[in-house]
Amino acid sequence: MNLNQVIIMFRSSVSSILLVFIFFHAVGGIPNIDVQPTFFIFSTLIISIFCFQLKFNFNDFILCLICLISITFAYTLQLEYLTFKYSVTYIICILMAWYMIVLIRNGYIKELAPKTIYWIIGVYATVGFIQFFIPDFMSFLVTRSEEAALSFSSTGRGVRSLTGEPAHLGKIFSLLNILLIFLYINVRITHDIKKKLICITIFLFLVNTTISRSAYAILFHSFIVAFLLFFLYRKFFYFFMILLLISGVLFISILLNVESDIRFIKLFIAVFNNSEYLLEQGAIKRLFNIPMILNNLSYYDWYGAGMSPNSEMSSIPSPFGRFEYLVHNRGYGGYFEYVLKFGVFSIPITLIVFHFLNEIRKIVVTINGKNYYLGYFFSITLFIFLFQDGTPVNPLPLFILIYFYLNSNQLKIIKFR
């Protein structure tokens, strides 16, 4: 075995470890956190050891530096309530993005294959399925208490598998669905690729509905199904929407008289006859996360909320009535939280994310001589999953954004103005 083969094997091993830490980010031993810092720690170690052998892109480094300087300025204006954990968390977020770019460009995170994603889906789904019968199965791998795992299954909320809660599991299934679609169109396009993408998406939607049972996750996964149909089968999309509307009208009256222990069915029924109950649910608070954050901005200074203890009751209009909530220095996550935390100093970070999404938007796929603008599908769905909710330190949505951005050039077959 020569030196080149040893290097290839080493990089392959490192890549496998990094991918495990990205896709199974809730697995670890540090208590009281849903996202373990395993990826950040291991990637810091790799980059530190091999820094003299890695190639660093100057533009990537400058953008990372601008973001770090920007939030550091914000910290200097938030000194009164600055804490170590808060400061370190957002610095780690910026560095983690840069690490991913460096590792992908240098081949320390190898190209993904669909079979790898199927293996990951299989692990999550298998553990989740077993938890319906043995609720504490593998729960020791996640730092949330075993009591929490038992409560999920007993209240009809579904299971958490190897995540913090069912909503987190549902989001992972949705993100893996988007990633699978990208991986399939990133290789040789076959004539039946459209059918394959639709079948995969519907299958994962059913897996999500059956295992996570999270109303919030099911809602957003249904967006993936609808958007994909819109871009691949436009006529069928309109037919499906009309059929769904007619079916909904026919079955709503039946559902209103149904009693079910499954939580997402109870929430669906509450949309029509119990809006007060609906507005009390955590899923609804997540759903209104972006308007809540935008409303919260008016209660804090131009440099953001930081860790300010200021809070008061506020409300925003919703289709279900006036939604009242407690204004706080944080919402339910997502990249809009940078805007709340840092105010105008979040502009560089926000612009970079939108630049990535805009480049991804330019992806065009040709199937049987016809162009399909799937870049819009990817940019819209990623925008939803990046900005809607979730902790910024979660490496999975960030990795998918960066992976798509770095691998999208070969799929841009039409020049956009």
Q: What is the CA radius of gyration of the chain?
A: 22
Q: What's the pLDDT tens digit per position in 106-164?
A: 989 988 999 999 999 999 999 999 998 888 888 888 887 665 555 555 555 678 899 98
**Segments of the chain with pLDDT less than 70:** 1, 145-157, 187-191, 244, 247-283, 319, 410-417
Q: What's the pLDDT tens digit per position in 357-410?
A: 999 999 988 887 888 899 999 999 999 999 888 888 899 999 999 999 998 876
The terminus-to-terminus CA distance of the chain in angstroms comes to 50
User: Rounded to whole angstroms, how far apart are CA atoms 33 and 280?
Assistant: 24
Dihedral sign of CA atoms 165, 263, 335, 290 in order: negative
- Could you tell me the pTM of the whole model? 0.89
Beta-carbon neighbour count of residue 126 at 10 Å? 14
Phi-psi region of 156 (alpha: psi -120 to 50; beta: other; left: phi over 0): left
HEC profile of 309-333: CCCEEEEEEECCEEEEEEECCCCCE
The pLDDT, as a whole number, for residue 39 is 95
